[in-house]
Chains A and B, each alone.
Chain A
């Protein structure tokens, strides 16, 4: 915008006709018209006329100009839940994306101020501005892939998660659906009914351990010896190709090692043990004489953390905003840096001499001095964000496209996709135009003010 650009305010009344003879004047009139014509014709035919056409078209139905429907297209636009989602999302976009991009831009601009070799940094941040939204969309589809072995965002999320809570040994392992020894919710813990301590081993059959988890496992075995009063048993994968005999340790069935086995009295854990290579465990003799229960702790079975559902219905809009910020922070940063370079150093020095600390200088001098630039950046980004289409179109998967919907996308879908209703499309187009009108007003006003100077 002009305040950033101009070395001096443009002089409006620049023309000083040197030759006022009528013939020359009329020749100049011709040339003026000739120079302006191509631009005005193109603007008139492809920008101004379409606006008028859209206003009229929005009053007609899907069939065309033969079906006058009055304002009913607007009625259906504002009662359609898809459009309402789009409006809501556009509101989120307009508030969040420009603010964060500008904020980050400000931070980066201040950080790089006066640091040598900052040019390389700025180039890196700024580079995404040069590429298409399509390429950015493909880039972020890759980043947000749900599969932690493909999407880098989830690879990091899973990596961090697994650093703080270790992965379980046998995710997904469970007792057979009809099992008298073990019951519990789908993800464990699995608990036996109350049992009296006896010399009989308490064997706990499980199924559903994956072949990968069983790699290197050895044949399950019944407990060899059980010291008097102790509680012993085997936890094993009660399944071999073909099924095997349920609840019996068949040859070929593997012991599940490293499982945590709890001994419960009531709901209290009074002892615990870990299964050995062949799946056997030994719990110390319970101090109580009452009934006890054996439990396989839930921690053995927790499903691996699948990462964040970036493109699920809840997060999809925010994730796409993230990709937008990646693209446009560089823009904010460069403009703000240009503004920063223009702040008179003497002002700051004077404040410092007066005893102001750096924070005060920043708050009282830098930010106010930057205010016009910040305003320009914010308004520009807001206009830009209202029109966002490609990123949403490319990144949002089918199941969450509706949750990620924005007006520009809805316009495209209703005019050219599925519905092919240009009446609705025109109404949406007009809505979009109305939403950018304040920005148009701000621009014109700013321009007049500058010219008046």
Chain B
């Protein structure tokens, strides 16, 4: 499951590094400070939230630990505004399985956070989701760009509110290993990235740590390359399966990926080792005391793993640079996020969605730290430190220039299930990167089946 697992440290570090590598688009936001709290209350008043005294609302999401604690603050604020009592239900690893069995038994929560638009579409098609009411739509129209809005819709009906976002185009690196190899500048292109990789290899440190045990990290590799190389139009077409996976653009992207996957010496443990490495381990081993690799690619949320599972300090021992441009394309910006949907047609569920889509809801989330909001109307001044603010501004100013994670938008059977579909096919490709055509055939066969079932 791809999750937006942002911790405060994450955004901080990512922003730091991106600023250092010339990626930030200015810090004008930092001039507008203060007023977050007062503005929030005003916004809350204009929301006209109903009185829900005595009503119980259940919210389910995959979050645990600090993320869960932070979100509880948001629901507490909602309870304070409405008088409802909201409880949180952790769904565990596989959200769609968890909710699927609950819904069939009629024991579903009021609101759930889905980590993938693909699941949203599957659920919407099955008739399990309740459309948002007009007051939620009003909030969405005011506060969200069309790009983020349509991600929460199915066949023209709005079902979801994107509450939390993630940036999946970052490469984290071990600063000590880089120094040892004499590297100092973030690679500007894929070719540079491979060249730096070779330099690192020459210096005695394996360049890349790949968490191929979790199929989704491989889909993220592919998506960044594909978005940059083939462009946004093709990316959208492939996302909707309007072009086939046997398309030459896919072949080109896989061939590019094979420049890395085909060189066992560039990956910690070789291909076999990579396939046995889950995502957390791939991060941990990059920042361990004697690191097994110098770089690991993944979203801002990797900082959580660095902070919690290694002794490395984010920002000094561990830094990140944006995923470089491939070929003549632009550097990719692939994002992820959690979408809130109503599973029951209750007043409480709609009110909560309205609140989550509101400025006050976004601000409350932002104030807890480690949170990136796609809400464009939330004042950037709410971010508690300048680095988080910089990243947030990047996201907001990107407008609709970003692309949402492709596999997250596919039917779950293709892009979101352990051991199946794209996850499995790219794992097979990692094991045998010479067989581009074979991988394409398998991807297309699985995609055709999954898209046909999903309609």
Residues of A within 8 A of B (CB): 62, 82, 146, 172-174, 176-177, 186, 207-214, 237, 239-243, 306, 309, 311-312, 396-402, 413, 416-421
A167 and B290 CA atoms in complex are apart in Å by 19
Against A, the Cβ 8 Å flags (1 = close, 0 = not) of B200-213 are: 01111110000011
Known: A208-B202, A309-B272, A417-B100. A241 touches B417 (CB 8 A): no
A417 and B420 CA atoms in complex are apart in Å by 11
Residues of B within 8 A of A (CB): 94, 96-97, 100-101, 122, 126, 179-182, 198-199, 201-206, 212-215, 264-265, 269, 272-273, 275-278, 290, 412-413, 416-420, 423-424, 427, 453
Known: A212-B290, A399-B212. A62 touches B179 (CB 8 A): no
Residue of A nearest to B216 (CB): A398
Known: A241-B182, A402-B424. A416 touches B273 (CB 8 A): no
| Selected A-B contacts with CB under 8 Å, 10 pairs | A209-B204, A212-B290, A306-B273, A311-B276, A398-B423, A401-B420, A416-B101, A417-B96, A417-B417, A418-B417
Q: Are A207 and B202 in contact (CB under 8 A)?
A: yes
Q: Which residues of the other chain, B, contact A240 by a CB distance below 8 angstroms? A: 182
Q: Which residue from A239, A242, A420 sits with its C-beta under 8 Å from B100?
A: A420
Q: Are A402 and B420 in contact (CB under 8 A)?
A: yes
Q: Which residues of the other chain, B, contact A309 by a CB distance below 8 angstroms? A: 272, 276
Known: A174-B265, A241-B180, A399-B424. A208 touches B201 (CB 8 A): yes
Q: Which residues of the other chain, A, contact B453 by a CB distance below 8 angstroms? A: 62, 419, 421
Q: Are B413 and A312 in contact (CB under 8 A)?
A: no
A173 and B201 CA atoms in complex are apart in Å by 9
Residue of A nearest to B101 (CB): A416
Q: Which residue from A172, A237, A242, A401 sits with its C-beta under 8 Å from B419?
A: A401
Chain B: minimal CB distance from A82 (Å):
8
Q: Which residues of the other chain, A, contact B264 by a CB distance below 8 angstroms? A: 186
| Total inter-chain residue pairs, C-beta < 8 Å | 108
Q: Which residues of the other chain, B, contact A176 by a CB distance below 8 angstroms? A: 202
Q: Are A211 and B205 in contact (CB under 8 A)?
A: yes
Chain B: minimal CB distance from A390 (Å):
15
Q: Which residues of the other chain, A, contact B278 by a CB distance below 8 angstroms? A: 397
Q: Are B269 and A306 in contact (CB under 8 A)?
A: yes
Q: Which residues of the other chain, B, contact A417 by a CB distance below 8 angstroms? A: 94, 96-97, 100, 417
Residue of A nearest to B272 (CB): A309
Chain A: minimal CB distance from B23 (Å):
25
Chain B: minimal CB distance from A301 (Å):
11
Q: Are A312 and B100 in contact (CB under 8 A)?
A: no
A312 and B275 CA atoms in complex are apart in Å by 8
A173 and B206 CA atoms in complex are apart in Å by 11
Q: Are B413 and A419 in contact (CB under 8 A)?
A: yes
Give the top 7 A-B pairs by smallest Cβ distance, nearest first: A401-B419, A242-B182, A207-B202, A146-B276, A418-B417, A418-B413, A398-B418
Chain A: minimal CB distance from B151 (Å):
20
Q: Are A211 and B204 in contact (CB under 8 A)?
A: yes
Q: Which residue from B180, B412, B419 sits with its C-beta under 8 Å from A402?
A: B419
Known: A241-B181, A397-B276, A398-B427. A208 touches B204 (CB 8 A): yes
A82 and B198 CA atoms in complex are apart in Å by 39
Q: Which residues of the other chain, B, contact A208 by a CB distance below 8 angstroms? A: 201-204, 265
